[in-house]
């Protein structure tokens, strides 16, 4: 129960509903326990009539009818209160499920990118869905039936002991055996539940990965291989599930056996006591049999409840592992809110902890407000990493990053990122309409604002040719668009927020030179009022910018404007000559 202590805060949050549910359960159980007493009286009346102690058949019939009416009334009232119990305690479990999912989702958003590199998407999804559902069962049925069982046991024991202390002891004697069995089996169930959840996470991760990369799977014709892998994972999950179910299956037969033993003891011991005169009337035996059978499901449910709690414990442990993760990034919600647009790197270095690769090595540069910077370099030179450091996706290991002469750590990170428009290499689009994907940068943007930025990004004319125009629904990751179309929609999404700093990270790579030149030309009006950074392999994307830096192995090896760099021996001049030659060859 150690892991489930995390949920105690919800017990306090919804204490009113839970206390009300507890009170209703007590009333429902008391009403239900009128029945055995009324049946005892009915049996006694019949027995007295059989013995001749009561002569009038009419009085017997009258009392029996009255008892039947009271039994029905008590059952109806108990049913109503049981319904109200579900409306309080079960509803609380849904509230907790809602709160816990939101808490996990919020935590997921806070965690740094390194966390997502270590964990698979399928596992993340499994913890926020399957694991939370198991925890909800602990807060709902398990809690409700636990209170119900404890209440019923206490009240029933009181009623039984009042009638015959000795018979009560014999009747409940199998219960300690039951408790010990549950204790032993629960530990095994806990272990097997954890194994089941882990195997399910692996299966979910594998499935999610295959469906995400379905185009690659089909293009390489490896469907059979992937099917075999899926089959192996499914078999392992099936075996783990069966192993768990086998252990859970021991509970109910064991419960029925122990309840049967209790019934035998009631009949045997109660019969002997009645014959010896220790029990005044035979109705008590009937009453005890009903008590024992009333306890059948509550006592049997102890095994089910124990199973639920053990599964919830295993699931909550998995959830807690992520909830206890500390983000490497400090959001500093009380920090500075606004920026003008100047950026400065002072001796900045950064190393990826997973691979120990030094991606940025002692870089320094300054970009004034409303000026532009181009970043050139071979693949793996550190261009994308440098851009991620600007938006504080990672913490730097040395040096300092400044905005308007203030350290990046002094800013409210959420506010800072809202003022930076980034178009990354991966043109990610959501499964929604085109207009909503663009409005992702500004929720309340008008259609005119959307059309304006789309014209700048050079995608407007293509969008209006779609049958539903801007309302066209995109497939997952925008699969029904070309690479160039996705890139331009992403540019429009960044522009619509009116960023103080605009960053284009090799986001024109899927476009031909002519389209690229048109977009760069259209963006010039934006560059005038925005600090701009463009990372690219093509010099045509950066040659008109105020300054250009050339990266190699995380270091700046060249710096200057286009005119300076083409007249300087080095990487920039070599690439310029090669790209110019290719352009002449095409002509």
Would you give per-residue pLDDT tens digits along the chain (587 residues)?
678 888 888 888 888 888 898 888 888 888 888 888 888 888 878 877 777 777 677 777 888 888 888 889 988 988 898 888 888 888 888 999 999 999 999 888 888 777 887 887 777 888 888 889 888 988 888 888 888 888 888 888 888 888 888 888 887 777 777 767 766 776 677 678 778 878 887 888 788 778 777 777 887 788 888 889 889 889 988 988 898 888 777 767 777 777 778 788 888 888 888 888 887 778 888 888 888 877 777 776 776 777 788 878 888 888 888 888 887 788 888 888 899 989 999 999 999 887 888 999 999 999 999 999 999 988 888 898 999 999 888 888 899 999 999 999 999 988 998 899 988 877 888 888 989 989 987 888 899 999 998 998 888 998 998 888 989 888 777 777 888 888 888 889 999 988 999 998 887 766 777 777 788 888 887 888 899 999 988 888 888 889 999 999 899 999 999 999 988 898 888 888 887 665 545 44
Place of tokens 């009038």: 56
Backbone angles phi, psi at 442, to 5 degrees: -160, 100
How buried is residue 429: exposed, middle or buried, by Cβ count under 10 Å (0-12/13-18/19+)? buried
- Per-residue model confidence (pLDDT) at position 390: 92
Separation of alpha carbons 341 and 498, rounded Å = 12
Question: Is the C-alpha dihedral spanning 88, 94, 99, 100 positive or negative?
Answer: positive
Separation of alpha carbons 282 and 1, rounded Å = 45
**DSSP type of residue 140:** I
Separation of alpha carbons 133 and 305, rounded Å = 15
Separation of alpha carbons 490 and 493, rounded Å = 5
- Per-residue model confidence (pLDDT) at position 366: 93
Question: What is the fold of 331-419+501-587?
Answer: Rossmann fold (3.40.50)
Separation of alpha carbons 70 and 56, rounded Å = 22
Q: Write down the domain spans for the chain.
A: 3-97+119-323, 331-419+501-587, 425-498
Consecutive H or E run containing 421: strand 420-423
List, edge to edge, every strand of the sheet that includes 547-552.
420-423, 501-505, 531-535, 372-377, 547-552, 555-560
- Per-residue model confidence (pLDDT) at position 100: 92
Reference 505, options 414, 415, 412, 379; nearest CA is 379
Judged by DSSP in three states, 318 sits in helix
Reference 130, options 319, 392, 288, 353; nearest CA is 319
Is the CB of residue 60 less than 8 Å from the CB of residue 47? no
- Per-residue model confidence (pLDDT) at position 510: 63
Judged by DSSP in three states, 429 sits in coil
For helices 513-527 and 447-456, angle between their N-to-C axes, nearest 10 degrees: 120
Is the CB of residue 365 less than 8 Å from the CB of residue 345? yes
Strands 406-407 and 531-535: unpaired
How buried is residue 433: exposed, middle or buried, by Cβ count under 10 Å (0-12/13-18/19+)? middle
How buried is residue 437: exposed, middle or buried, by Cβ count under 10 Å (0-12/13-18/19+)? buried
Judged by DSSP in three states, 20 sits in helix
Separation of alpha carbons 76 and 68, rounded Å = 12
Separation of alpha carbons 416 and 428, rounded Å = 21
Separation of alpha carbons 427 and 429, rounded Å = 6
Separation of alpha carbons 572 and 381, rounded Å = 14
Separation of alpha carbons 372 and 392, rounded Å = 20
Is the CB of residue 394 less than 8 Å from the CB of residue 113? yes
Separation of alpha carbons 97 and 104, rounded Å = 11
DSSP bridge pairs for 551: 377, 556
Separation of alpha carbons 262 and 256, rounded Å = 10
Separation of alpha carbons 298 and 149, rounded Å = 5
Does the domain made of 425-498 have the CATH classification 3.40.50.300? yes
Separation of alpha carbons 126 and 129, rounded Å = 5
Is the CB of residue 329 less than 8 Å from the CB of residue 392? yes
Is the CB of residue 422 less than 8 Å from the CB of residue 503? yes
Tokens of 75: 């059952």
- Per-residue model confidence (pLDDT) at position 587: 47
Is the CB of residue 389 less than 8 Å from the CB of residue 323? no
- Per-residue model confidence (pLDDT) at position 179: 67
Tokens of 529: 């009022």
- Superfamily covering domain 3-97+119-323: ABC transporter type 1, transmembrane domain (1.20.1560.10)
Separation of alpha carbons 454 and 437, rounded Å = 12
Separation of alpha carbons 486 and 482, rounded Å = 6
- Per-residue model confidence (pLDDT) at position 555: 92
Separation of alpha carbons 510 and 478, rounded Å = 15
Is the fold of 331-419+501-587 the same as that of 425-498? yes
Strands 343-352 and 406-407: unpaired
Q: pTM higher than 0.85 for the full model? A: no
- Per-residue model confidence (pLDDT) at position 581: 64
Separation of alpha carbons 487 and 483, rounded Å = 6
Q: Mark 460-483 as b/e (b = at least 16 C-beta within 10 Å).
A: beebeeeeeebeeebeeebeebee
What are the helix (H) ranges across 220-348? 223-248, 251-276, 283-294, 296-323
Judged by DSSP in three states, 337 sits in coil
């Amino acid at each position: 129960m150690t892991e489930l202590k995390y949920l105690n805060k919800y017990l306090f949050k919804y204490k009113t509903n839970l206390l009300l549910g507890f009170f209703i359960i007590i009333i429902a159980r008391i009403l239900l326990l009128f029945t055995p007493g009324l049946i005892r009286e009915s049996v006694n009346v019949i027995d007295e009539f059989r013995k001749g102690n009561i002569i009038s058949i009419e009085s017997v019939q009258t009392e029996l009818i009255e008892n039947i009416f009271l039994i029905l009334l008590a059952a109806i009232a108990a049913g109503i209160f049981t319904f109200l119990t579900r409306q309080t305690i079960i509803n609380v479990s849904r509230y907790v499920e809602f709160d816990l999912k939101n808490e996990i989702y919020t935590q997921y958003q806070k965690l740094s990118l390194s966390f997502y590199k270590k964990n698979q998407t399928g596992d993340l999804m499994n913890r926020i869905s399957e694991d939370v559902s198991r925890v909800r069962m602990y807060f709902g049925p398990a809690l409700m039936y636990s209170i119900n069982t404890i209440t019923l046991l206490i009240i029933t024991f009181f009623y039984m002991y009042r009638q015959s202390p000795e018979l009560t002891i014999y009747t409940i004697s199998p219960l300690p055996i039951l408790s010990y069995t549950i204790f032993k089996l629960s530990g095994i169930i806990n272990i097997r539940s954890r194994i089941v959840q882990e195997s399910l996470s692996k299966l979910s991760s594998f499935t999610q990965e295959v469906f995400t990369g379905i185009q690659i799977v089909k293009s390489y014709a490896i469907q059979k291989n992937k099917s075999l892998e899926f089959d192996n994972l499914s078999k392992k999950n099936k075996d783990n599930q069966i192993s768990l179910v086998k252990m859970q299956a021991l509970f109910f037969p064991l419960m029925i056996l122990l309840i049967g033993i209790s019934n035998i003891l009631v009949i045997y011991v109660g019969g002997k006591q009645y014959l010896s005169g220790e029990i005044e009337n035979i109705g008590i035996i009937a009453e005890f049999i009903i008590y024992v059978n009333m306890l059948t499901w509550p006592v049997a449910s102890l095994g089910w409840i124990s199973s639920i709690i053990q599964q919830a414990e295993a699931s909550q442990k998995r959830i807690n592992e992520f909830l206890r993760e500390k983000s490497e990034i400090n959001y500093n919600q009380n920090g500075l809110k606004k920026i003008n647009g100047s950026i400065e790197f002072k001796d900045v270095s950064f190393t990826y902890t997973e691979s120990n690769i030094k991606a940025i090595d002692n870089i320094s540069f300054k970009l004034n407000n409303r000026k532009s910077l181009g970043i050139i370099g071979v693949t793996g030179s550190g261009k994308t990493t440098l851009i991620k450091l600007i938006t504080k996706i990672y913490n730097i290991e040395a040096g300092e990053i400044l905005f308007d002469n203030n350290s990046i750590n002094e800013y409210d990170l959420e506010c800072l990122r809202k003022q930076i428009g980034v178009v990354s290499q991966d043109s990610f689009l959501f499964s929604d309409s085109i207009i909503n994907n663009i409005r992702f940068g500004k929720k309340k943007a008008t259609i005119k604002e959307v059309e304006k930025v789309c014209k700048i990004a050079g995608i407007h004319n293509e969008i209006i040719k779609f049958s539903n125009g801007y309302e066209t629904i995109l497939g997952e990751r925008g699969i029904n668009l070309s690479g160039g179309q996705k890139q331009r929609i992403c540019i429009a999404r960044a522009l619509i927020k009116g960023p103080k700093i605009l960053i284009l990270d090799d986001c024109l790579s899927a476009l031909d030179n002519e389209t690229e030149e048109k977009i760069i030309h259209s963006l010039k009006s934006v560059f005038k009022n925005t600090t701009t950074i463009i990372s690219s392999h093509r010099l045509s994307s950066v040659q008109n910018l105020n300054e250009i830096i050339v990266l190699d192995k995380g270091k700046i090896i060249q710096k200057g404007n286009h005119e300076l760099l083409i007249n300087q021996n080095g990487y920039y001049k070599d690439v310029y000559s090669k790209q110019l030659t290719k352009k002449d060859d095409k002509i």
